[in-house]
Amino acid sequence: MRLTGLIIVFILACAPCAQAASAPPSIDQQRQWFEQARQALDKNNLISFHELKAKLENYPLTPYLNIWHARDELKQGRDSSIADVLERHADVPESINLRIAWIEDLARRGLWSKISELLEKNSSDIKRVPEISMIAQWHMGAKDTALLQFSQHWIKDKHVSDFSYRLQQNWKKQGHPTKAEYWARIDSFVQQGQWSKAKKIALELPKAEQQWLDYWQHVQRQPEEQLAAWPDAIASIPSKLILNDGLNRLARLDPLKAWNSLELLKSKADQQIEAEFYSALQKSIALRGAKRHMQQAVDWLQKLPAREHDAQTRGWTARLQILNQDWHNFSQTIDSMPANEQQESNWLYWKARMLEKTGKQLESGSIYMALAKSRGYYSFLSAERLGLPLSITSTDFQASETELEALNKEPAIMRAYEWLQLGNSNKASREWHFSLAGSANHTWEAAATLASSWGWHDQVIRAAFKADRLDALKQRFPLAHEKSVLQASGKTGLSTSAIWSIIRQESAFNEQATSYVGARGLMQLMPKTARATAKKLKMKSRHPDLFSPSINIQLGSAYLAEQKKRFGSLALAAAAYNAGPHRVNTWLERTPFDAAEAWVEAIPFNETRRYVQQVMAFISVYEWRQAKRPSSLIVRLNREQEVSLNEYP
């Protein structure tokens, strides 16, 4: 009996231990094991890797461990598991990296049939491995297509791998490179300033043609003088290349001289050159003159053949007429636009301004009224012209609980969430978009709702756009990083609305955003600009962490405030923030900032024009978000000092 009692006591004492042993690991524990498994694989500690992976059977990111392991095996010459891994994890975007690595390995081994099979099954990979795709087509019988592609490959001086040797030799046997291909490759080098390479290629041409390369180089250095001394007997191919390059370079210096030079050269150059070539050059020069706000450019644009007229030529004709307040001809330009162009908000607004300026108040008022019912830069200007409140209202997302629950259980969405928790927003975003691509509006709305609950602001903004829920203003214009924004506002004198507006326009609140030119973080600062600003602020670090929201906001706001002090207008400061202060100085030299609305409308860069207009409109939205007294958009556009709105209730 005593023994039985002891056994019962022992069992009861161990019950909690048994329950604890069988309890599933916490999510934090699984994340820790995942990172440890990743490190073990990096160190080639496969015993530890497999032990850890065995504990992660149900962890959302375990497929990544399988993919990375298969990739490591491929590096060691083993690919037996890859097909299975790719099939099991086809919905994981990282599988693309594995598949491309496999295709490259197969190419090194000359297994073109297998490559062709993979590319046929995954056609999007063709753009990822264009040279391998081209060679696979050659080996699989599509020889004409492959030869044509190789010509383009050669012209652009793309790398030619050892395994494309046979294709290259056959290409040469077929009579390539042709004279046109030689000159096309020369042109490619010339445009990059690689004259030594261009001259080396020119040695393959007849000596009579090689001399034109020296002349071309002189044209680049002195376009006006050399084009005026155009020599006889240049063949059509080099003539067109030299004319195009030389006149466009001259147009960058002086569009008027380029226009006049072109008129003279039409009679001097090879008479076989088609009229369309000259009219395309005229259009290029005329548009460059228009973007310099040269009034002669209106006449140039109107002289273009009908085939060259498009939205760009009509738009710049209208902008020059706005700058010159030539309302009579502006009216004719608007009337000449196709109906869909006339209904664009910018031309509607300026038509209303034209009518107002010419005393037709009732007609202008009806256009302003129609615009004021919407939301945006021209709508806000129109409302202010009429003395009406801005049309800013917000509605919440309407995703159902059932749809949210189903989306939240999707493996890809679970993986996106896990990557966010591990601090890798790039892999999270890749999973997110890979999973949701092609989804219906209601699915994107559910995704926006879910991302909002995660505090993933940049994906809320993008998902709302995909869902066509632009009226969800509270979610699309978040008041994130409030403490840092308030501190920056206090130090710089900028309104919080201006700072948030720049963040919204620059990165859509993606803290890890990196542009193709290297701008980083919330306010998309270039490292060089950030270092210079940090030095002025006497910050300790010479290499500030631009992915830190607080540091990025501090430096970005200081730089924006510096531009505002320099130019005296938030609109000009925004233009400088986007295009650089040196460009804004150049634009101001050509056209003084006397009529702000017209000046902004005629900003030469489409991107910068939209940027300034968006920033100005977003400020109004952010004032509304903070329940602050609305400020005048017209005043903000002009040189008057912006008043900080922080004190208003």
Q: Does residue 3 register a pLDDT over 60?
A: no
Give the CATH number of domain 401-470: 1.10.1240
534 HSE (CA, 13 A, CB side) = 18
Mean pLDDT of the chain, nearest integer: 93
d(CA 618, CA 390): 12
Measured CA to CA in angstroms, residue 263 lies from 89, 221, 376, 527, 559 at distances of 63, 21, 43, 46, 46
Amino acid identity of residue 282, one-letter, is Q
126: Cβ contacts below 8 Å, ≥ 6 apart: 119, 133
Q: What is the mean pLDDT of residues 161-179?
A: 90
- How is residue 313 written in tokens? 């030529």
Q: What is the mean pLDDT of residues 377-403?
A: 95
Q: What pLDDT does residue 649 have?
A: 27
The CATH class of 482-637 is: mainly alpha
pTM score, whole prediction: 0.91
Q: Does residue 270 register a pLDDT over 80?
A: no
Q: Does residue 1 register a pLDDT over 80?
A: no
Amino acid identity of residue 480, one-letter, is A
Q: What is the mean pLDDT of residues 485-492?
A: 98
Measured in degrees and rounded to the nearest 5, phi and psi for residue 525 equal -90, 140
The confidence band for 8, taking pLDDT boundaries of 50, 70 and 90, is very low
Instruction: Tell me the range of 4-18, 143-157, 261-275 where mean pLDDT is highest.
Output: 143-157
Domain limits, the chain: 193-302, 401-470, 482-637
137: Cβ contacts below 8 Å, ≥ 6 apart: 116, 143, 145, 146, 149
Strand, helix or coil for residue 231? coil
d(CA 47, CA 210): 65
Q: What is the mean pLDDT of residues 363-390?
A: 97
Measured CA to CA in angstroms, residue 620 lies from 30, 228, 345, 563 at distances of 45, 54, 18, 20
The confidence band for 647, taking pLDDT boundaries of 50, 70 and 90, is very low
Q: Which residue has the tokens 């008043």?
A: 643
Beta bridge partners of 525: 520
Better-predicted residue by pLDDT, 208 or 151: 151
The mean-pLDDT minimum among 66-75, 232-241, 432-441 falls in: 232-241
Q: What pLDDT does residue 21 have?
A: 52
Q: What pLDDT does residue 350 have?
A: 98
d(CA 163, CA 166): 7
Q: Does residue 2 register a pLDDT over 80?
A: no
Q: Does residue 321 register a pLDDT over 70?
A: yes
The mean-pLDDT minimum among 148-162, 558-572, 581-595 falls in: 148-162
Measured CA to CA in angstroms, residue 344 lies from 167, 315, 371, 610 at distances of 51, 11, 10, 14
- Longest CA–CA separation in the chain, Å: 122
